[in-house]
Structures are given as C-alpha cells and as structure tokens.
Structure 1
C-alpha cells in the first residue's frame, strides 16, 4: 500500500466503517433496551457515556480515543496530537498511530496538524464528510472497529470507541449491496468505486476475483457470490447475487 493518497485510504476504509457503524448503532440499541439519544464525553476519564432513551435502563460506558475535531470557524480539521489542549492527555495517544501511518506512507493529510476544508459544493457537506473520513480511516489503521462523531457549538469531536463486548459486523452478501449503495450515494465518501469494493473484500478477508478489463468484481460471501459491475467510468452500474455459488475468479 505504498504511495497512497488520502482518497485511497478512505476508499480502502469506508465500506467496512459504514457496515461496522451500523452494527454498533444496533448494539447500543440492544444494550440500552431502546437506543440512546444523549451522549456525554469525559476526555480526562477517557470515556463516553450513552444514556438510554427509556427510563430504568442501563447506561453504556466505553473507552474512547480522541482523533480530532472539525470546526466551522475556522473551517478546518485538527488532529488531536496537534491540539495544545489535549495532545498530552492519554486520550490522544492512539491517534499517533494514524499520524505514523501517514508518515510511513506519504499521506500528507495524516501528518498535517490542521487541514483546511473547502467551501461546500452543491449537495455536499465538507465538514461532515471530513469528520467521517477521519473516523473511517482511523478505524481501519488502528483496528478499532467503530467511532463516534459528536456535534455541538460549531465543533464536531471525532473519536474511536473501544466498547467491551462489541464485535465487528459479520460479512453478509444479503446486506452488502445496501452498504455499498449507501456509501457511494454519500457525497465525498467514495472516490474510486472499484478500489472501495475491492478494499472491502480485502479488509474482510473474503475471496474475490476481477472479470476482464475490471468490468466486474465477484466477492465470495458466506451465502454465495455477489457480482458488482462497473461502467466505463469505473462507477457501480449493477449488483447481482447468486447465493450458493462462489466467485468464479477467486484471487488476491
């Protein structure tokens, strides 16, 4: 994975992040008996508390690792390792792995203390997209499967959540098409559809194989084969499932 760009790392990370985050929301709902509509963060205690919607249900408290913050003014993202207010706290140690990965692979955005965010284009939200990018990339690099973004007072705090008892989603050929379409439909989340689809298969250790001219990727799920076709511009054009069959061109 040498010579990576920021967009490459996002493409390699985003589908797994979307899948795992959806599973995390379900897990919080299960643990709280109905979901949480209020969260509180204590950076010194290095924890987040999910308060249940329903009375007499237990809170969920989990360790966190602060990744950084995305601000409306100035319109920028700052990594926690560069923030004078938190960089010396234990909560900001894990993000150093993300910085070190960026240094070793030449990804400037991961080693730049503060990143300017361009103005929104039509239908986009650069602040939200940047926060999601920080979360997804950091989950993939650190191996911590999920993250939380909390918004308030013009700031988005981005943190990894290392919840005891939470396990990443199990790959499913039934739900994968929804995950893929959800990610490519969100502005700025996926830059290269082919890379993102292959990156998912690699991250989940699923067998996969390309058809000639990279026209389609076949991925072997527990239920069977899912074929993702791409148009001449490399964008997803069709998804077909053949459960009970394995990919006809397996390979790495």
Structure 2
C-alpha cells in the first residue's frame, strides 16, 4: 500500500532544504527592501543587491484579526491568474491527498501544528508545505498592512543553491534541529540529503543515517523515539 501523505510529512520533507534556501537568499540580498506589483507580475529587491525576480507566485496571506491564513486562489481581491495559479495547484493537490490545510480556502491558525499565534509563524508553516509540493524552494514574506503578512514563492537564477560545502551542510542541519518544528527527524534529514544530492543510507535497523558527499561523512544516531541523539561528522575540503 502506498504511504498516506500528511501535512506533517510535507513539513518534514521541506524543513531543512527550505531553511538552507532562506539562508542563501539572505546571503544573496544582504540589506534590502522589497516591492511587489502583482498586477504587473513584478517582484523586486533594492538595497545592497538590487534584483528583479524572474518568477513570482502569491501563496496567500496570514491575518491577525481572524487569526487565519487565506490562500491566494481564494483571495477576493482578484489578483491575476498567473500570480495565483501555483496556489491553485496546491489546492488540487490537497484535495487529491486529503490534506485539508492545502485544500481549504481559509486555514485557522489553531489548525496548524503548534497553534501559532503570530501571522509570521503561520506563514512559515504554510510556505514550507507549499515548497514541498511545488519544488519551488525560495520564499519571501512581508507586511502588507494591518498586521497581515503576504507570502510569495520567488524565482531567480541567483537563488539556486551552490554545490554543498561540508561545513555549511552541517551548520544548516544543526540550525534546523535546534530551531525548527520537525516531527520526524529521520524523514527530515533523509529528505534534505536526497534533495541536496548527497548520499543517504540508513542502517538495517534504522537507528543510524549516514550522509555522505564531497568532503563530508556524517553518521547520525537516533534514539528510541526517532529523535537525533548524536551526530558524528568528518569534514574536509572537497577534493582534498
């Protein structure tokens, strides 16, 4: 029987790879401001690294008043279809797999993992799920008035990750494990390694995951609850 995909699965699948893309985006942009014109299909950054995105997708918005998220396809403001089309594909995916958080036009904060209280927290959760489905990995969100935050997936060649560098990979993994909401550590780490095109192999009993790549070998031990208990990593300069 095929696995039943859940919302939690999507978040675990996206967590670490999404984090690395957002860290990379920060490196690319530096100090910046943003501007969006959805009617013109325009999203641009100004500041230390001016940049105009080559792709723009409105995911939705999180508002503090109703304490809910509204998907872009359901927004009554009538944004252009090309800007909201990706959010509509997420709706269809949610309907196909029985994932209410994607299929419902509006999602209460209380229906999300951890019952977030702030729009920025809700935005992060829904955005990661969207990334896992769409394979568009760079996002941006910002205030649009009244405490509401709008979330976008954005594209540009400079947003592509560079080849994996051992110290960076380990930093991203450690930051994710210490700061992100991850339900299944095994799944999240394996998904990251696969998407980062690193080697990933579980021991026969599933208590260890070995991640390998140029200049990197990391053996990750899991405890009886499937949580990371220890990481033993060997790093060297790629090609050394």
Separation (CA, whole Å) in 2 of partners of 1:125 and 1:235: 26
**Equivalent in 39, 60, 64 of residue 56 of structure 2:** 64
Deviations 1:88-121 (A, max 9, x none): 5321112222222222322221111111112999
Partner of 1:142: 134
**Equivalent in 154, 166, 170 of residue 159 of structure 2:** 166
Separation (CA, whole Å) in 2 of partners of 1:198 and 1:108: 25
Distance 1:69 1:200, change over 3 A: same
Compute the displacement of 1:15 (Å).
0.6
Separation (CA, whole Å) in 2 of partners of 1:242 and 1:199: 21
Distance 1:126 1:183, change over 3 A: farther
What TM-score results when the alignment is normalised by the length of structure 1? 0.82
- Provide the alpha-carbon RMSD of the alignment: 2.6
Distance 1:2 1:43, change over 3 A: farther
Partner of 1:27: 28
* Count, aligned residues: 233
Partner of 1:249: none
Separation (CA, whole Å) in 1 of partners of 2:117 and 2:203: 35
Separation (CA, whole Å) in 1 of partners of 2:14 and 2:200: 17
Higher mean Cα deviation, 161-170 or 143-152? 161-170
CA contact (8 A) 2:10 2:133 kept: no
Separation (CA, whole Å) in 2 of partners of 1:129 and 1:171: 28
Runs of 4+ in 1 over 3 A off after TM superposition: 86-89, 119-122, 124-127
Partner of 1:227: 219
Separation (CA, whole Å) in 2 of partners of 1:65 and 1:86: 14
Compute the displacement of 1:231 (Å).
1.8
Structure 2 gap ranges (5+):
none
**Equivalent in 40, 51, 58 of residue 45 of structure 1:** 40
What TM-score results when the alignment is normalised by the length of structure 2? 0.86
Partner of 2:15: 14
Compute the displacement of 1:49 (Å).
2.0
Deviations 1:112-164 (A, max 9, x none): 11111129999x65533321122222223222220101124211111001124
